[in-house]
Amino acid sequence: MGKRRDMAQRDILVRVDDMDRRHRIATARNLIYEKNYGVDSAAVKRLLQKDSLVPSAVCTYLFAVIGDCLS
């Protein structure tokens, strides 16, 4: 699985899937798919660059089906 340091960093650097993160991703997806903004537009980058997020709905779908997919 990796060295002890790698395992420790997995615990320390874990991402939190909170409402703020979900809201920013949903807003970015709305800008891209409903308002035809580019994925690399300034508005989308502003929303996502704080945590290097990607406007993907995969985790949202998995969360609805199987629970917390980031655990």
Residue 42: the pLDDT is: 94
pLDDT, tens digit (0-9, with 9 covering 90-100), for 41-54: 999 889 888 877 77
Average pLDDT over the chain, rounded to an integer: 78
Residue 13: the pLDDT is: 78
Burial class (CB in 10 A: 0-12, 13-18, 19+), 44: buried
Q: Which residues of 25-40 are buried (b: 16+ CB within 10 A; e: fewer)?
A: beebbebbeeeeeeee
User: Any residues with CB less than 8 A from the CB of 56 and at least 6 apart, and which?
Assistant: 25
pLDDT, tens digit (0-9, with 9 covering 90-100), for 12-29: 877 777 888 888 888 998
